[in-house]
Amino acid sequence: MQNFLELKDVSLKKYNTLRLEAYAKRLYFPLNQEGLVEVLRFTKGNKRYLLGKGSNVLLTKDVYPEDVVFIVTTHMDDIRIEQEELVLEAGVSLSQLTWFAIEHAIDGYAFAEDIPGTIGGALIMNAGQFEFTIGQYVHWVDVYDDELDEVKRIIPDADFFTYRNSGFKASETILACGLRNVGGDELENIEKVISYKKERYRKQPRNYPNAGSVFKRPQKDGKTLFVWKLFEECGLRGKRIGNAEISFKHPGFIVNLGQATQSDVLALIDLCKQEVKKSFDVDLELEWRVLD
């Protein structure tokens, strides 16, 4: 049985939600957990980037060299109920998780439906919205540890998941996880999905490609600051460099107006950091993963 697919000299444009053009010499699609472990083992020593839905990432090169490997996990999409838990492979989308939960009268996952990513990436960054994060629901996570060359199970403690972060080591790649299974009302959860979706459509740019919120909310003097407010006060709303723009609708997002390049986006990121540092003495930290 074949556990993975391999493509060579592939455009990555459709594999990143910002829709930047870039090319990979090698691209792998694991079909299951065994396939992902196989790919990780024979590509050890190469720089490896895992992509789910391609959100929350910034491609920085036009062409990636031979020793940079991309792995797309979206074929690892098995989800089931097992021993009163939701068990998911790393490539299950958050939308898929939400609707599976609704169909099986499971409560708690309506918040995740409109987050454009997979469970693997969501766990790494503890994705969430409103008052919810995915880390609140995790019982266990199976990972492949590159250093130990073994699959192991992590049982997260109370401090494992923090704001847009987690305790996974760089050597650990997520294979699957077990999530909380609590009974709920199907119609109530559908109504929650619609409500959350309306709120995000009202506030966030949907007419142009983007990769989600660019920066984490910074702290200053014990207070959490909102990035979009900082940008508003700096006059950055609607600022363009090339075909990249700080969204008019929500300045916390950078959008691709059509033909934005890596250099356009990187220059806009640098400008944002400089202006916020100059105006507020605040250092911004990227929420995106930069794939260099």
Q: Which value, in Å, is the radius of gyration of the alpha carbons in the chain? A: 19
What is the percentage of the chain residues whose pLDDT exceeds 70? Answer: 100
Six token digits for residue 253: 């997002």
DSSP 218: P
Helix (H) or strand (E) holding 10: strand 4-11
243-290 pLDDT, tens digit per residue, is 999 999 999 999 999 999 999 999 999 999 999 999 999 999 999 999
Return the ∠ at Cα 160 (arms to 159 and 166), rounded to 5°.
130
Mean pLDDT of 37-44: 98
123-158 pLDDT, tens digit per residue, is 999 999 989 999 999 999 999 999 999 999 999 999
153-199 pLDDT, tens digit per residue, is 999 999 999 999 999 999 999 999 999 999 999 999 999 999 999 99
**CATH architecture of the region 79-201:** 2-Layer Sandwich (3.30)
CATH class of the domain comprising 4-72: alpha beta
Contact 231, 245 (CB under 8 A): no
CA 259 from chain centre, in angstroms, equals 23
pLDDT given for residue 202 in this prediction: 94
198-215 pLDDT, tens digit per residue, is 999 999 999 999 999 999
Q: Taking the alpha carbons of 127, 128, 131, 134 in that order, is the dihedral positive or negative?
A: negative
User: CB under 8 Å to 159, separation ≥6 — which residues?
Assistant: 167
pLDDT given for residue 249 in this prediction: 95
* 219-291 fold: 3.90.78
Using the predicted structure, report yes or no on whether residue 100 has a pLDDT greater than 80. Answer: yes
pLDDT given for residue 1 in this prediction: 77
- List active site positions: 164, 213, 287
Dist. CA 144–CA 174, nearest whole Å: 7
Residue spans of the domains in the chain: they are 4-72, 79-201, 219-291
Using the predicted structure, report yes or no on whether residue 42 has a pLDDT greater than 80. Answer: yes
